Structure 1
Amino acid sequence: MRFVPEDEQRRRIAACFARSELTLEQLWMRYFALGGSLSLIELDAYLNGLTTLPRVDRDMLAHAVNERLDEVAGPARAPYSHSVSDAKPLHGPLKALVDLLEGAHRAPPERLPAVVAEAGRALDLTIGVYLADYDQRTLVPLRPGSAELDIETTVGGDVYRRAGTTVTRDGTLWTILLDGVERLGVLEIVPDDADPEDPVLREQCRWLATLLGHLVTATTQYGDGLDSRRRHRRRGSPAELLWQSLPPLTAATESVVVGASVQPAYDLCGTVFDYALSENCAQLALFDAGMRTGSANIAVVTALSAYRAARHGGASLGEQFTAVAAELETLSGAPAVTGAVVELDLATGILRLLGAGSPPLLVVRDGEALPATESLATRFSVAGGPFHPTQVRLEPGDLLALYSRGVAETTNGAGEPFGRARIARHLGHDAAELPPEIARRLTRAVLVHGADELRQDAGVLIARWISR
């Protein structure tokens, strides 16, 4: 440790004090707030070279001046009595992460692209951010002048679908942008000089993408700057209500991965889903109000709220079902709500289901759909209970799917419904994909089948049991 000579320290403290725009009284107040005990006269005498001060007081005085310089001036700082390393890194991965954290602090959402660009410079990278639109058809650039990327046909779209990383022939590194496990978009990373195949660089980019994903989600909670970029058109008020009620489209633990998709994204009206994952159990639910009527959204939000309240209170599966039924029976003139509540024991793979007039649960094993799993109840009702759950034993790797009536009942121009067989075929074909991608592809297929015209919402909730 190198000690700064007292005379040099005094001279530099005095010079920095002169640039601080503080009066002597203001400096003394800051010094006093740090724990200093010397008088105003003693500080004045020290700054003018008429006396000396103990090392601890010199350092407190330097710190008081530096706090002010951080506010108004710039990097030149008063020295402490011994040399210390700069707390803030000047280059490299740690500086990139610090730049992201500090740049995003109190920043409005629309400033995030500039913050990301600054963080990229610390790694000698040029970074472009693309976020998936709410329809999950395109990746929308945050950098002005850049073109949107089609999710089905571009390199960036392929990275999004696989939630992976790839390097193109021109040396561009593409990597998934995640908040936890939820896919938000992709990063386009152009190294200034480094090898994009370098595993260390890839790991550093993964750190950056992980932190950025959290910041995108956090800033979207209090501003519309990023949210508006992801919208291709205005949402109606029913869709806005339902989207704000939904959990993230993806969640995972070591034992289970959950993915969901709902369409039409901008005109969602009567389908919601929910889940809760723990160490030992995955709880899933889907509620569907059928035809897209004016009161459908109120009915399914009521069902969702009743389900969550019961689940949060520790209610059993049967009690959750009854709570939803009781709440729905208080609504006057609301459409009938169908759906299902499910519990999956993550230790044993035992699945318990209570359905209410909903399409049967589908289980896909080794790419093939098992026979339909029916439930006895035809609707959410208090009368006739208690209802006894249907029980299925899953095997590791099995997919289970809950879906709304709109998935199976959407018809094409010839009046042919999409149908359960087609659902099973799509699930089996895509079984090796990630659950959120399976869900996205299924609802996209329903939209194509219906020529983008849905009389009922198409919602699907998919889970893969991984076991332990």
Structure 2
Amino acid sequence: MVRTLLDRSHLATTGQIPDAIAQAAQTLGWTAGLYLIDHEQRLLLPTPVTGAPARRPLNIETTLAGRCFRTVEPVPTGRTAPGVWLPVVDGSDRLGVLEVDAPGGIDLQDPLVQERCRMLSHLGGHMIAAKSPYGDGLDGLRRLRPRTVASELLHQSLPPLSFACEGLVISCLLLPAYDVAADAFDYGVADDTVHLMVLDATGHDLRGTILATLALAAYRNARRNGRGLSEGVSAVDRIVAEHGGAERFATGVLGELDMSTGRLRYLNAGHPAPLLMRHGRVVKELDAGRRIMFGLGQEPAVFAEEWLQPGDRVVLYTDGVVEARDHDGEFFGQERLEELLHKAAAAGLPAPETLRRIAHDVLDRQGGVLQDDATLLVAEWATSRERTFTAVGGVAAHDLSPHGEERQSPRR
């Protein structure tokens, strides 16, 4: 199975990866159909497979496939001939789900079946990510409407929405998916140092996008050339001042987290204060390290420090989240943001699912049309949650009713 997928993928175009996954599954007598998440993360969209019948999109909130995506766990299909939905991830970045069926059914309690499912779904996810930069075959399927040029430029400059390594989970989300302009986020991990940034440039047009993209590039250039956080701040300041023309500026938070100790150093340039979550609750705002906005003039970088405890989450966001208004003109507000963070933590949701739900709440509050870009980034330190993205285990029979409907069951 693995050999077939690897050999087939070498010369496959991006759009042929679903066929390669299906052919690999056939070596085990299985059939497999790939679904990818749309860019707003509401629907699972079927990818065409040669010779297979057409399939319909599936809602994330109301289907078993959606449950698989939300929880990053395998879920039985519940049909007469048992099959299984498998999460498809690249590392920890959720890409979609895989529907697998076999003539004799799928027994997820069998360790050999579990291992084969894990290899097929995870290797398939890596192949999708590896091939996607070389073509548009799969990205086009994920679009439910056209993107603006500004949004196209910005999105191709951003890192994947989720990343995990030993002791760290990072998840990000940027809205709106199709016409975002001047928000940006970035992260990077080198040895034990985690680099974090959220940026909000002025303007909701292509000029704002260009400014945000240049600031993002300046920050990366500084750190990749071995410069420290102070030099990164100066690089962003210079590029915004040079290209903003004394008319456009940027707010932002830049930080470094030492994964060996939990020490967070950060600087805030006129931006909303990050939130610190501990034991599932927002315990404080990280409101130190203040300076003027980028582009208004150089000033000495004075960094604040916060010592994290294992399991802490740091939440960075732009004002487009809390300043979103409903039809009555009421702000979304920081209080509601904190309330949603608390509910997600109480439900044991991983960071990517937490942000997906918050983003939809922000969008729905404004009727699906944002007045401003909205960005969220969550970094969770010293946790074992990263391992939930890397294993496909068995599913207990009592998790599903005989008709495949979800049951409420205690969390394991």
Shared fold per TM-score greater than 0.5: yes
CA change 1:240–1:400 in 2 (3 A) is same
Query: TM-score normalized by structure 1?
Result: 0.77
* Bigger fraction of residues in helix: 1
**In the alignment, is residue 125 of structure 1 matched against residue 125 of structure 2?**
no
Q: What amino acid sits opposite 1:174 in the alignment?
A: W
> Shift in Å at residue 381 of structure 1?
4.9
> Shift in Å at residue 463 of structure 1?
0.7
Deviations 1:119-141 (A, max 9, x none): 11111111110011111111110
Between the aligned partners of 2:235 and 2:323, the Cα distance in structure 1 is: 28
Between the aligned partners of 2:242 and 2:58, the Cα distance in structure 1 is: 47
Give 1:204-353 correspondences, 5 Å limit. Answer: 204-331=116-243, 332=245, 335-353=248-266
1:158 to 67, 77, 98: 67
- Hey, what does 2:400 align to over in structure 1? none
**In the alignment, is residue 416 of structure 1 matched against residue 330 of structure 2?**
yes
Name structure 2 gaps, 5 residues minimum: 385-412
Deviations 1:373-420 (A, max 9, x none): 113213125746212111111111111111011011111111111111
Q: What amino acid sits opposite 2:181 in the alignment?
A: C
- Hey, what does 2:368 align to over in structure 1? 452
Between the aligned partners of 1:295 and 1:467, the Cα distance in structure 2 is: 40
Between the aligned partners of 1:103 and 1:289, the Cα distance in structure 2 is: 44
CA change 1:383–1:294 in 2 (3 A) is closer
CA change 1:290–1:454 in 2 (3 A) is farther
Between the aligned partners of 1:169 and 1:453, the Cα distance in structure 2 is: 37
* Bigger fraction of residues in strand: 2
Between the aligned partners of 1:132 and 1:423, the Cα distance in structure 2 is: 24
Deviations 1:3-25 (A, max 9, x none): xxxxxxxxxxxxxxxxxxxxxxx
**In the alignment, is residue 167 of structure 1 matched against residue 76 of structure 2?**
yes
Q: What amino acid sits opposite 1:181 in the alignment?
A: S
Name structure 1 gaps, 5 residues minimum: 1-95
**In the alignment, is residue 111 of structure 1 matched against residue 29 of structure 2?**
no
Q: What amino acid sits opposite 1:358 in the alignment?
A: H
Deviations 1:333-371 (A, max 9, x none): 653211110111111111111011111011111121122
Between the aligned partners of 2:100 and 2:54, the Cα distance in structure 1 is: 17
Confirm or deny: 8 A CA contact 2:88 2:124 kept in the other structure. Answer: yes
Confirm or deny: 8 A CA contact 1:129 1:142 kept in the other structure. Answer: yes
**In the alignment, is residue 186 of structure 1 matched against residue 100 of structure 2?**
no
Between the aligned partners of 1:196 and 1:211, the Cα distance in structure 2 is: 20
Query: TM-score normalized by structure 2?
Result: 0.87
**In the alignment, is residue 367 of structure 1 matched against residue 271 of structure 2?**
no
Confirm or deny: 8 A CA contact 2:8 2:20 kept in the other structure. Answer: yes
Confirm or deny: 8 A CA contact 1:353 1:391 kept in the other structure. Answer: yes
- Hey, what does 1:72 align to over in structure 2? none
- Hey, what does 1:176 align to over in structure 2? 87
Confirm or deny: 8 A CA contact 1:130 1:140 kept in the other structure. Answer: yes
Between the aligned partners of 1:307 and 1:249, the Cα distance in structure 2 is: 18
Confirm or deny: 8 A CA contact 1:257 1:464 kept in the other structure. Answer: yes
- Hey, what does 1:395 align to over in structure 2? 309
- In structure 1, the residue corresponding to 2:242 is in which secondary structure? coil
2:2 to 82, 88, 97: 97
Count of matched residue pairs: 373
Instruction: Say which is worse superposed, 233-242 or 209-218, in terms of deviation.
Output: 209-218
Q: What amino acid sits opposite 1:308 in the alignment?
A: R
- Structure of larger gyration radius: 1
RMSD, aligned CA: 1.6
CA change 1:316–1:377 in 2 (3 A) is same
Greater RCO (CA < 8 Å, at least 6 residues apart): 2
Instruction: Say which is worse superposed, 217-226 or 121-130, in terms of deviation.
Output: 217-226
